[in-house]
A = this chain, B = another copy of it.
Amino acid sequence: MVKGRVAVITGIPGAGKSTVLNELKRIAGKIGKGIRVVNFGTEMVKIAEQKSGVLHRDEIRHKPIPFQNQLQTEAAKEIAKMTGEGSIVIVDTHMMVRTESGYWAGLPSHVITELKPDLFILIEADPEEIFKRRSTDKTRMRDKVLMSDIREEIEFSRAFAATCGTLTGAPVKIVRNPAGRQVEAAEEILKLL
């Protein structure tokens, strides 16, 4: 990928996004590939702090939706500016966020318009694999894990991604991350960058 461009990396919980991202940073460092990984949520918190002294992600989540949308737009603008510095910017974020009130687009049109991504990556694993990872993940204090929920999340993530692809004209790439294959997944992503 040409320097100064933006790749978005997403994956539902249990798909192994963090693992792949860590591998990606490690390999890129080793081979001297200039990438900059930015966490979208962290950028939002930074802007919230500057604007109004909000300090935690959880505080943002309890603010009115228009405020949150405004934060998203500003975070997208800030990240888009980073491409001016010539590096490849990797945005660590969500294609879809599942909450009690439904599936939220992680990349709604007001974000896409500012961020102008050049590539959308969906890190995926088999529903059975995701089920196993979620079931053994003690840190997340999840609700009961259901296979049908996992399948639905994968389906919705893809549908949201297709919309992103139509709105921007950028490709949607599915990167498979089966158990123990995070190095291969990271290498596959590196080839695209």
Contact = CB atoms under 8 A, between A and B. Distances in A.
A167 B164 CA distance: 10
Nearest to A103: B172
Given A159-B162, A162-B156, A169 B69 contact: yes
A101 B166 contact: no
Contacts of A159: 158-159, 161-163
Contacts of A102: 119-121, 171-174, 192
Interface string A57-76: 00000001100010010000
Q: State the number of copies, please.
A: 3
A108 B168 contact: yes
A43 interface: no
Interface of A: 2, 64-65, 69, 72, 99-105, 107-110, 112, 118-121, 152, 155-156, 158-174, 192
